[in-house]
Structure 1
């Protein structure tokens, strides 16, 4: 391949990578709720956008007693639809916990699991009005850091098998735990995501006692992961462009 042709191809790959990045979606609440709404604690004492808790901008802040805290969207087109259009993707967000306790403000500190759940209402399960796949993101409250960044990457959206760490929901297995309904697969759910939930309501668990929440969420993001060959072409192209510039400078 001639030098000029290779450089043009590298620049084209760079443009392709930029296009993928441009398709990424981020909700930092600087433009309102952007299709997201709160559940559980988000419907209590205070629930709204706070300019003092965000990571560089506003954040959604919820304060009050509830059995769980959650952020959900079923209207934001940037986060719904066919996830398999992206071969690989990363979902991430920031959370700040000012207090999570039993017994109201100043109560006994509590740690809770946090999950990301992708739901498909067109594939109703025997136990729920949807089928879903979900993954543990980490722990908030308790001894966890007050401010945390959570992230999960799906390396292959075309996989029918649940990746390590992922689980199914919509039906119950022989032990009563959550599982995907018969005939549903990881890929089938990702092909038609109708609702996304970030929540402490872990599938399969029953929540009765109220906790006191003072939490904020920010920078909810979904982005495609560029393919390795795009990175290689981009790096090679940039190197050749630098080499050409140095040759011209010497001349």
Structure 2
């Protein structure tokens, strides 16, 4: 039991050091699109409509996917081209000069074989294009995780946007499981690891003291 406690602390420290982004708070609301008006198979959402909690369609239309195909996370996802190429946005709060990691899962509407499907991602003055080149099906979308790392240029509310670029007659890139996390500085993680080490040292000292008293 004593060895288990110390080893558990060490394992937790190692896990955080290897994958810090997943230990941080997701700054995106409803990143997997699970909260919103029931879409059934799918529902087309137009500019200004509020069917998807936390998100807005700022241009064109998107399809809010329910049971039509398998999601990357949960039961719902997005086709970024409904009856036209669409842009999906959300305001997030950033801190100037802070490093962030944006991750999301990308696929494509499998009803049209024209590939690749591309999306332009914008946030905090940074834009980058991502493409999906797989061969999805309704039952196996072949979701691919994508990552955009950036440093915020200003403090305050910033618009996160996903825009369909090429969608094969409005069969668009598919989006799911969006996450935005702050990336701690290396010095911060060094301090945390040191803290874990001090906790382990303290536990071991208490165990030794207890053992001496028991055998006194």
Which TM-score applies when normalising by structure 1? 0.53
Give, in angstroms, the shift of residue 67 of structure 1.
5.8
Give, in angstroms, the shift of residue 197 of structure 1.
1.5
Give ranges in structure 1 of 5+ residues lacking alignment.
1-13, 100-104, 120-131, 158-186, 202-206
Give ranges in structure 2 of 5+ residues lacking alignment.
1-15, 37-51, 210-216
Q: Distance in 2 between matches of 1:63 and 1:90?
A: 22
Preserved contact between residue 41 and residue 62 of structure 1 (Cα < 8 Å): no
Q: Distance in 2 between matches of 1:49 and 1:91?
A: 22
Give, in angstroms, the shift of residue 241 of structure 1.
1.1
Alignment CA distance shift 1:233-1:192 (3 Å): closer
Given the alignment of the two structures, is residue 232 of structure 1 paired with residue 190 of structure 2, yes or no?
yes
Give, in angstroms, the shift of residue 234 of structure 1.
0.9
The Cα offsets for residues 123-142 of structure 1, whole Å up to 9 and x where unpaired, read as xxxxxxxxx54122x21145
Show the counterpart of 1:167: none
Give, in angstroms, the shift of residue 238 of structure 1.
0.7
Which TM-score applies when normalising by structure 2? 0.60
Q: Distance in 1 between matches of 2:98 and 2:207?
A: 41
Show the counterpart of 1:173: none
Show the counterpart of 1:96: 107
Q: Distance in 2 between matches of 1:64 and 1:195?
A: 20
Given the alignment of the two structures, is residue 150 of structure 1 paired with residue 146 of structure 2, yes or no?
yes
Q: Distance in 1 between matches of 2:128 and 2:172?
A: 23
Task: Name the structure, 1 or 2, with higher relative contact order (CA <8 Å, separation 6+).
Answer: 1
Alignment CA distance shift 1:35-1:142 (3 Å): same
2:55 aligned to 19, 27, 36, which one? 36
Preserved contact between residue 94 and residue 150 of structure 1 (Cα < 8 Å): yes
Preserved contact between residue 95 and residue 216 of structure 1 (Cα < 8 Å): yes
Given the alignment of the two structures, is residue 25 of structure 1 paired with residue 41 of structure 2, yes or no?
no
